[in-house]
Chain A
Amino acid sequence: MQTVKMVISGAVNSGKTEFIKTISEIEVVSTERRASDDTKLIKKETTVAMDFGRIAISKDLVLHLFGTPGQKRFDFMWEILSEGMLGLVILVDSTRPETFRETNRIIDFFISYRDTPYVVAANKQDRPNAWSPDELRLALRQPPHVKVIPCVAIDRESVKNTLLELLYVILDRSAEG
């Protein structure tokens, strides 16, 4: 049995748990806790450690989805989770510009570590006051070759589309065989 891994990252409350829940075939193994420290101001439940979801590709191939914890004090998990990943989805809460700098910090972390294929998902596009993907690209200063995809993590088609867009980036970089 071969397993491959994708990582779903992003600032606190960007929608990582929701994204994985929407597409995973198993009940998401999440470690939600009542939020402590600063996070409490934003939401009641937050992910500590990580989220884990799974999609069976075939009898002998499984795709694992790992969501990184949002809170800063779990940063050490990122490196462990990113080990051997196929690609990365960076979720951004498009309605909260106060998280854009943190989002950049997360992108920098993963990208400077190794040249991982990634896409930015402009999440919560169903909300009023969501910044458009084009506006997010400028706000996050992402170069033209990085895809910034409109996303609604509570909508299955939208999550599928985001994963597929990432897979096309991975496909472009893949080796023959």
Chain B
Amino acid sequence: MALVGNIQDFGLSDFLYLVDRGYKTGCLHLKRGNDAAVLFFEKGKLVFASQGTGGQKGDLLVQLGKITPQQLEQARQLQSHNGNGMSLSQALVSGNIISQEELQQSLQTHIEEAVVYGLFGWPDGEFRFEHGQKPEADTPVMPVPVPVEHLIMEGVRRIDEWGRIKDRIPSTDMIVRFVDQPGEKAKGVKLAPEEWRVFARINGKDTLAMIAQKTNLSDFDVCRVVYGFATAGLVEVVKKPTAPRGAADVPRVKRSLVSRIISRIEKM
């Protein structure tokens, strides 16, 4: 079953988080007016993306000037000799047409800069995620799948208005703290200098306003950076603990009372 919605309501960065944490394999189809894009994921990581309704395939590498049309043909023949199991990228590398590093580098740069980052600028657009859909054999997938965290950070760098940020950070009076186990996650993120400045100030006590003061950055910049960290799942933004009122005014219910309700409902 497909996941459908609109990126106006459930943003691309939220979606990438879902793909990452849900370890998803499949294809995200985006559509906005006459424009369209597809992003393929394998176990939560990006393997290919293209924009435009035609859907780019093997000739992308020819357009990027990385291989000649003859070399593409050569790789395709190698693929067909090997049955269905071999991807175009595998054929290119094993046929010594291009090195894996060069293939990765050119594809990743193109996919990130010419496709994915631009998609973060879409204010709206329908999305549909098809579970399990894999790229066709002629697609030049990246030999090394790309973790989505740093795509998220890059997307967030392009945010220039408060609207979306306010959803997660309603006020600068909130506190930022690291999630318990960011684990591997922090590694995938490449931070810019001003982001490091904010990152280094996160201590689970200071509010966003305090961080802005200490780093000499504007409230907006701090919130945007923290929004990125939060979207990538590195930190959480929480309300300042207020005067303790919670615990005291919720009397703890008696176990026997809850048990009575349970056995009644079980019998309904």
Chain A contacts to B: CB under 8 angstroms:
4, 23, 55, 57-58, 61, 63, 86, 96-98, 100-101, 112-116, 128-131, 134-135, 138-139, 156, 160, 163-164, 167-168, 170-171, 173-177
Contacts and interface: CB of A to CB of B under 8 A. Distances in A.
Shortest 10 CB-CB distances between A and B: which pairs? A97-B5, A98-B9, A175-B252, A97-B10, A174-B255, A114-B246, A177-B254, A138-B18, A171-B258, A57-B264
A130 B3 CA distance: 7
Interface residues of B, number: 36
A167 B254 contact: no
Contact of B10 (A112, A139, A177): A139
Contact of A170 (B2, B258, B268): B258
B250 A114 contact: yes
Interface of B: 1-6, 8-10, 14, 17-18, 21-22, 167, 239, 245-247, 249-250, 252-262, 264-266, 268
A4 B18 contact: no
Contact of A174 (B3, B249, B258): B258
Contact of A139 (B4, B14, B261, B268): B14
A42 to B, nearest CB: 14
Contact of A131 (B3, B239, B247): B3
Contacts of B245: 114
B22 A135 contact: yes
Contacts of A4: 253, 257, 261
B247 A115 contact: yes
A139 B262 CA distance: 30
Contacts of A135: 3, 18, 22
Contacts of B8: 98
A100 B10 contact: yes
A101 B9 contact: yes
A115 B268 contact: no
Q: In this complex, which of A138, A163, A167 has the most chain B Cβ atoms within 10 angstroms of its Cβ?
A: A138
Nearest to A2: B257
B21 A138 contact: yes
Nearest to A177: B254
A123 B5 CA distance: 17
Given A55-B265, A174-B254, A101 B18 contact: no
A115 B250 contact: yes
Q: In this complex, which of A55, A128, A170 has the most chain B Cβ atoms within 10 angstroms of its Cβ?
A: A170
A55 B258 CA distance: 14
B129 to A, nearest CB: 9
5 contacts: A101-B9, A114-B249, A139-B14, A171-B259, A174-B255
